[in-house]
Amino acid sequence: MSMALRNTLHQLGRVTRATGQRAARGLDTAWPSDVAVALDASDWRPDEDDDYCPRCGVSAGPGSVTANGCSFCRGKRQPWDRVTRLSAYAEPMDGWVKAMKFGGQWSWSRWMGGQLAARVGEPIDPARVLVTPVPMHWARRWRRGFNQAHLIALSLAKHRGWRCAQLFRRTRHTHPQTAVVHSDRQANVRDSVAAHPVDLDGWQVILVDDVKTTGATAGLCCRLLRTHGARSIQLAVGAVADPLSVKAKTQRAD
Ligand SMILES: [Zn+2]
């Protein structure tokens, strides 16, 4: 094992201990006791790669995505290298996400992590893959009792035998991006995320969230990952909200 890899593993171990995270191998004992909740997804199948744009994650029709992306993202730089999603944020996925976040049915996050594990592809170097969740502010986590992105990330990592660490923390509370007008979104999230000091030179990072809406916070995480040397970044999400519905929701909130 190289010295650089050994140093990064040591740093990730410190991050894991500092954030109080249980290792993925302890997931079964750490998991909440709601595993008896019936998951009614037996007839459901996740999207195939050509069902959506790999640059921004938006649903795509046949032939609508080129090497430069789709009509929503063409000409716009994306902070990640690609997006992997399970579905659009629509029925039935939206109901499952709400059951997970607001109904306390945490086992949906384990299911979602398993589904994503089968979709994220093969890494160049399995020894240098890090799965990390988009962070949640401690106050929101305290109210909800968990960060669903962290649970999904733990499940994904466990299914593939990869490392998972909470690399980020929220430095301040932010309003949901869907409640903020477009012109204020950058200011709403600016400097709201910090990263633990870890050398990720040569590492492939899988950044996990339950739903991508505007992608602004995930974008902040990606910029921090780049400054820490990440080789590539894949954003893995359960669902991607239609940008037109996000815009409409913002206008209603306005
Ligand atoms: Zn696109």
| CATH numbers and ranges of domains, the chain | 3-28+69-253 (3.40.50.2020)
Percent of the chain with pLDDT over 90: 53
CA of residue 79 to ligand 1 center, whole Å: 12
From ligand 1's centre to the CA of 103, what distance in Å?
Answer: 31
Q: What is the pLDDT at residue 51?
A: 94
17: tokens are: 């201990």
The mean pLDDT of the chain is 85
pLDDT at 250 over 80: no
Measure 100 CA to ligand 1 centroid, in angstroms.
27
Who's near 194: CB < 8 A, 6+ residues apart? 168, 169, 171, 224
Tell me what pLDDT residue 249 has: 59
| Å from CA of 52 to ligand 1 middle | 8
Distance CA(149)–CA(112), nearest Å, equals: 10
Q: List pLDDT tens digits, range 230-244.
A: 999 999 999 999 887
Closest CA to 162 of 188, 138, 127, 193: 127
pTM over 0.85: yes
Side-chain-side CA neighbours of 31 within 13 Å: the count stands at 22
Please report the pLDDT score of residue 205 as a whole number.
Answer: 98
Residue 226, amino acid:
R
Is 24's pLDDT higher than 70? Answer: no
Q: How far does residue 71's CA lie from ligand 1's centre (Å)? A: 6
Distance of CA 55 from the midpoint of ligand 1 (Å): 5
pLDDT of residue 251: 56
**What are the residues whose beta carbons fall under 8 Å from the beta carbon of 226, sequence distance 6 or more?**
233
Question: Ligand 1 mean position to 96 CA, how many Å?
Answer: 25
Length of the chain: 254
Given a contact cutoff of 8 angstroms between Cβ atoms, the answer to whether 150 and 112 are in contact is: no
Distance 218 CA to ligand 1 centre (A): 16
pLDDT value for 253: 47
CA 232–ligand 1 middle distance (angstroms): 18
pLDDT confidence band for 193 (50 / 70 / 90)? confident
More confident residue, 142 or 247: 142
Do 174 and 242 meet the contact criterion of CB atoms below 8 Å apart? no
pLDDT tens digits for range 106-133: 888 999 999 999 999 999 999 999 999 9
> Ligand 1 centre from 70 Cα, in Å?
4
**Could you tell me the two tokens for 90?**
């629509």
Ligand 1 centroid – CA 110 distance (Å): 27
Closest CA to 11 of 171, 153, 3: 3
